[in-house]
Amino acid sequence: MPWATQRKKRILELVAKFNAQGGLSRPDQDLLKATQDFFANNVAYFEIQRTRRLTPGYSLADSPVGLLAWFYEKLVAWTDDYPWTPDGIFTKVCRYRFSRAGADAPQNQYHESYKRPGLSTEEYIKQYSNVPLGISIFPREIVQFPLAWNLTLGPVVFERRHDKGGNFAAWENLGAMGADLHEMFGKDGGAYKCVTECSGYKRI
């Protein structure tokens, strides 16, 4: 079955399932509400970067204090009560401050994604991929959607909900993230040998 047809079929099945069950479950409603709250109250940083990237860019490149304030706010707000240390914060900030691209380089991705032509509904549906997908869910991630919606992206072969972690989960909960990858790509995982020339551990 073509990918676009597969994805459309999955979406229709999910809509029918939700309607039959009286709509989204309470946990899924909570996920959507958190996402809606984030977009309603916390995306000014995104809007200014996508529309006027040079305005914050000059400040971040010019002022170490400005760069620190910009990052510190997000490191604290987007993590799950992670115990940041001064060394940890400065390490992260210095990666931008002293990078070859410059402290203002990340602004460009927001601007470029905004300038990209939008996709039609038909083109968007065709983005369904047959590549095996893994989903690791962390409770304080800033954008979250109902878990069943993941099925519209492609063949989900791994999914796990964690009880700790946020937007910087690979830093906050590295052990959990590593274990998820190991299980997904390991010999008993759903993505084992998804790259035909390689096993989950070494080239064969």
3-state secondary structure of 137: strand
Alpha carbon distance 64, 197 (integer Å) = 46
Q: Give the pLDDT confidence score for residue 163 in this predicted structure.
A: 92
Does residue 57 contact residue 70 with C-beta atoms inside 8 Å? Answer: no
Question: Is the Cα dihedral 25, 27, 33, 36 positive or negative?
Answer: negative
Q: Give the pLDDT confidence score for residue 168 in this predicted structure.
A: 92
The number of angstroms, rounded, from the C-alpha of 157 to the middle of its chain's C-alpha atoms is 18
pLDDT level of residue 195 (50, 70, 90 thresholds): confident
Lowest-pLDDT choice from 55-59, 83-87, 152-156, 197-201: 197-201
Alpha carbon distance 135, 147 (integer Å) = 9
Alpha carbon distance 185, 192 (integer Å) = 5
- Dump pLDDT digits (tens) for 30-61: 887 888 888 888 888 888 888 888 888 888 88
Residue 71 makes CB contacts below 8 A (sequence gap 6+) with 89, 92, 93, 96
Q: Give the pLDDT confidence score for residue 59 in this predicted structure.
A: 86
The number of angstroms, rounded, from the C-alpha of 138 to the middle of its chain's C-alpha atoms is 10
Query: What residue segments make up the domains of the chain, in order of their start?
Result: 3-38+126-185, 41-115
Residue 91 makes CB contacts below 8 A (sequence gap 6+) with none
Q: Give the pLDDT confidence score for residue 165 in this predicted structure.
A: 93
Q: What is the pTM of this model?
A: 0.75
Q: Give the pLDDT confidence score for residue 150 in this predicted structure.
A: 78
Amino acid at 33: K
Does residue 137 contact residue 161 with C-beta atoms inside 8 Å? Answer: yes
- Dump pLDDT digits (tens) for 113-171: 766 666 555 565 556 677 889 999 898 998 887 777 777 778 889 999 899 999 999 88
Lowest-pLDDT choice from 69-73, 111-115, 168-172: 111-115
Amino acid at 125: I
Name which residue leads in pLDDT, 111 or 41. 41
- Dump pLDDT digits (tens) for 154-166: 888 999 989 999 9
Q: Residue 132: what are its φ and ψ, rounded to 5°?
A: -55, 135
Write down how long the chain is. Answer: 204
Amino acid at 173: N
Q: Residue 133: what are its φ and ψ, rounded to 5°?
A: -115, 145
In terms of Cα–Cα distance, which of 109, 93, 21 is closest to 61?
93
In the numeric block, which tokens belong to residue 68?
A: 């620190």
